[in-house]
Structure 1
């Protein structure tokens, strides 16, 4: 009887039911789209971290910055060229290999981090910058000047000899090439910046090549320098065989050249030193706890997680993320609350128009609870229909966003491991100066819909039906059989 009456009443009031369901569908669809976009933002921010530190990295450990005024200001690149006694112009070339940021940790820190509770894996790496100066000194030509024709005191041969000589031409012309090198632990290649690139030519390092003179080169740098697999790359007088070409999965590569960690340490005069420890947590829900444990148990370190990195991201990714988390969520909540309220009011109004019907049913013996359940059942079905429509509209909206994949830009400041950090550039008469690097990454936005989001939509649909049923049921329970008699014409 309940379902028979329910089916008949829903058919008879199709337009009113569709209006209630459509209102709920709009609110539910907006919640699905906003939740999916927020999930896409989180994935985009994870990609930013992966592009810098590599796949699977949950956090990085670096040396804590020295307090202002306590840093070593004497560390700066210095180029020294040998004087040559020759009538010919002399060519000069020199490589300077510097640790990025000039801050290092002892290699033993990697093992200390790996022993912390909640750490699944920890790998150390060394980021360095190579500055190659190449050029030549050119001798100038001396042109004798004209001797003034005058006599008198102070105008003898000794006083005026060479007084008018001039030097033309000569000087020095040098090219400065700067590129980044990352020393990777070839025995543990599961973490680190190299995992954010894919080998497109040749091969990656072998686990046995800890001391081998081999290199993997980023594809963009290889194209710029006309490098290929099998060729030699000379760094500070040491020749390395290129065994592979790597292409970054997104954005720029973390480094131009990848070397075995031991070789990078030797070139940078940083034996048993690393600049960054890449950490993978055993449980993604315990990242904050692992961070706190590392900072507590290993002094002098700074731990950076993906959440910390997200706070430093600027550009359209940051703006869109703020809008999705702020305006978008609040807007979806307001629309959903309005949809619930409208559904409840429309259901209550529909009950008011059915006074004669419910009064007659009560006169025939229906109890108030039965009438209330009938109204609530109709409202619940309307809510489920609205939920189905909302899920369909929400999935369509998420699919459109993913299909078009709008590109967002993440602007990152320097100084955080990987390829970031201070860079050295040639600067006028003051010599090389430090410049903070920034890195811009283009990330394609997606809107993934999870089962949790679908479950939330179903729960909202049921809740909307119950809210509407509550309004209508309360109204219906207050009707009396006498009201039907007063409405009889």
Structure 2
């Protein structure tokens, strides 16, 4: 009897039911879209951080910033040679000039809550190649032999020097020394080997290298060819393509080989840390700061504060304005649904009064009204989920491309020195260029089962609230009210 009466009443009042369901659907769809966009923003920020950290990294440890020592700036010297003879000079330097002893890795690994720690060395190679050309003296006036401007003399009054000068090309690329015994931690994990192979655990000091695909194309290198660094030929064994759009370095080589080439034996620039429990990251950070002096510890949350650009702006809007606006719209839809349901009950006074006169108790009338409101809520939920999924798909398919710029406010390469910016740490070679680089991130709106479950709960909640309005009104009706409405 309950379901028969429910079906007939919903069919008879389908326009009013559709209005209530549509209002709830609008609010639910907006909540789904906003939550999905917020989730997409979070994933985009994670991609930016992974391009710096590497997959599986929870914290990084770098040396605390110090004043640069005198003479740390790169110095290039050229000897006098025959006119037009090509000259070259190169330097392989630590980015940011900030290093830690590699014993720091073992010290960090012993801290409570640390599952794994691995060191890395970030370098930049600068090579200057070119030639000098002497100028030619143009005589301005006759001079006495042996005098100024004459044979055996220098240039005289009126003489001019034309031509000459120097033309030099500057080539630079970044290198990263990785611990090949722990391949699942560090920045190389954000790149996939697309040609050749990766490092083996036995190649701790091998003269081999893996190149980023963009740099390999630029330099015309492929698997099997050689790359010369400080006069040492490194065999290219693999080409890697960054999953996040920008690689952490252009050349990867075994850590020990990188230390040898740069004269940084026993030193690292960054320690990558994986915690045993993601909930204990703050505790692990505090332990490392306390027990490993002279270092800066950076978590992903710290690093996220340095990401700026349209990605940061959109994330802020989605998290604050968008989310609260969606909740406000949903609340308004629920209140309107409740008022419409209550108004519909007031128009059914004769109907409910007659049912009570026939023996229906107030509880049965209340359950009937609540049942109708719940069905309206479920219909609104289904419509809202469908519209929300469609909106999320449109955002993913046609959404704008956001940009993320990496600042130098903290983290590796920031106050801690090291490796926040790709291409150089603060004060190091390539720093100015690196700070200007941005990452392009495609906006997505992934819909999770949690979001769908939230939509179902909201639809049921909206139906219950609307039913509560109507049930309260229906429970106050008396059979005598029906007699007053009889025409």
TM-based fold match above 0.5: yes
Aligned equivalent of 2:79: 82
* Structure 1 Cα separation of the partners of residues 430 and 181 of structure 2: 36
**Could you tell me the TM-score, scaled by structure 2's length?**
0.90
1:153 counterpart residue number: none
Distance 1:382 1:159, change over 3 A: closer
1:114 and 1:120 in contact (8 A); partners too: yes
Q: Is 2:141 the partner of 1:146? A: yes
Partner of 1:188: 182
In 1, are the aligned partners of 2:95 and 2:424 still within 8 Å (CA)?
yes
Aligned CA distance change for structure 1 residues 461 and 321 (closer, same or farther; 3 Å): same
For the 8 Å contact 1:422–1:435, the answer to whether it is kept is no
Q: Which residue number corresponds to residue 421 of structure 1?
A: 424
Aligned runs of 1:277-426 on 2, under 5 Å?
A: 277-404=271-398, 406-414=400-408, 415=413, 417=419, 419-422=422-425
Equivalents in 1 of 2:460, 2:312: separation in Å? 35
| TM-superposed deviation, 1:464 | 0.5
In the alignment, is the contact (CA less than 8 A) between 1:141 and 1:169 conserved in 2?
A: yes
What is the match of residue 485 of structure 2?
487
* Equivalence map 1:150-299=2 (5 Å): 162=154, 163-164=156-157, 165-299=159-293
**What residue ranges of structure 1 are gaps of 5+ in the alignment?**
150-155, 426-431
Written as runs of structure 1 = structure 2, the 5 A alignment for 1:113-128 is 113-128=108-123
Q: Distance in 2 between matches of 1:8 and 1:173?
A: 91
Q: Is the 8 A contact 2:83 2:132 kept in 1?
A: no
**Of 477-486 and 464-473, the range deviating more from structure 2:** 477-486
Residues 109-151 of structure 1, C-alpha deviation per residue, up to 9 Å, x if partnerless?
22222233333322211111111011122233344552469xx
Post-superposition shift, 1:252? 2.1
In structure 2, the residue matched to 1:53 is: 53
Contact 2:338 2:466 in 1 (8 A): yes
Question: C-alpha separation between the residues in 2 aligned to 1:114 and 1:424?
Answer: 29
Shift of 1:102: 1.1
Number of aligned residue pairs: 473
Query: Is the 1:413–1:436 Cα contact (8 Å) retained in structure 2?
Result: no
Alignment of 1:29-44 (within 5 A): 29-44=29-44
The question of whether the paired residues in 2 share the 8 Å contact of 1:232 and 1:242 is answered with: yes
Q: Is the 8 A contact 2:310 2:403 kept in 1?
A: yes
Structure 2 distance, partners of 1:365, 1:396, is 47
The alpha-carbon deviation at position 277 of structure 1 amounts to 1.5
**Structure 1 length-normalised TM:** 0.90
Give the Å deviation of 1:158.
Answer: 7.8
Query: What is the aligned partner in structure 1 of residue 18 from structure 2?
Result: 18
Cα distance in 2 for residues equivalent to 1:167 and 1:372: 106
Structure 1 residues 30 and 434 mapped into 2: Cα distance closer, same or farther (>3 Å)?
closer
Cα 1:194–1:459 shift into 2, 3 Å:
same
* 1:389-425: CA deviation from partner (whole Å, max 9, x where unpaired): 1112112222222233532111112525263533789
For residues 465 and 371 of structure 1, do their structure 2 counterparts lie closer, same or farther at Cα, with a shift above 3 Å needed?
same
Measure the CA separation in 2 of the matches of 1:224 and 1:109.
36
More off after superposition, 416-425 vs 329-338: 416-425
Aligned equivalents of 1:316, 1:286: Cα separation in 2: 31
Mapped partners of 2:396, 2:138: distance in 1: 73
Q: Are 1:437 and 2:434 an aligned pair?
A: yes
Looking at structure 1, the residues matched to 80 and 186 of structure 2 have their Cα atoms a distance apart, in angstroms, of: 43
Counterpart for residue 129 of structure 1: 124
- By how many angstroms is 1:157 displaced? 5.5
- DSSP 3-state at the match of 1:131: strand
Partner of 1:97: 92
Aligned residue number for residue 471 of structure 2: 473
From 456, 461, 464, the equivalent of 1:463 is 461
Question: Are 2:126 and 1:108 equivalent residues in the alignment?
Answer: no
